[in-house]
Amino acid sequence: EVQLEESGGGLVQPGGSLRLSCEASRFSLSGYWMSWVRQSPGKGLEWVAHISEDGYEKFYVASLRGRFTISRDNAKNSVFLQMDSLRVEDTAVYYCAIMDYNRVWWKDNWFDAWGQGAPVTVSP
């Protein structure tokens, strides 16, 4: 069974930074697109970013572009999310997820497996 484990969450002041990590066990991440999705307290899910198998293609939700950076290290079987200039409204549980897709039609994609989530709290 695929297992993803996030780490690096915690409490940070507004304007601060955090780096989330997501490590896979029992399988290799290198052949998959990977994503970060967040969920604010009591609210719905919001896609944050995703990165191609080789790390060369990166896409972000427009509202976060410039503050968040997604990266990966396939040798370490890990994906990362660097979060800078954090704001109170960034408070959420951050999930990493494997993004699978239809090889004929890219837009037909879905989040196949999820980690347990890393809680991030931004508060003065």
Residues lying near other proteins in the complex (CB under 8 A) are found at 35, 37, 43-47, 50, 59, 61-62, 95, 100, 102, 107-117
Cα–Cα distance for residue pair 114/99, rounded to 1 Å? 9
118-122 vs 10-12, strand pairing mode: parallel
Q: Give the pair of three-digit tokens for residue 72.
A: 């990966």
Write down the least CB distance from residue 110 to other proteins, Å. Answer: 4
Terminal-residue alpha carbon distance, the chain? 40
Q: What are phi and psi of 74, to 5 degrees?
A: -65, -30
Is the CB of 54 or the CB of 112 nearer to other proteins? 112
Write down the least CB distance from residue 75 to other proteins, Å. Answer: 26
Q: Which helix (H) or strand (E) holds 39?
A: strand 33-39
Is the CB of 17 or the CB of 40 nearer to other proteins? 40
Write down the least CB distance from residue 16 to other proteins, Å. Answer: 25
Is the CB of 2 or the CB of 16 nearer to other proteins? 2
Is the CB of 26 or the CB of 107 nearer to other proteins? 107
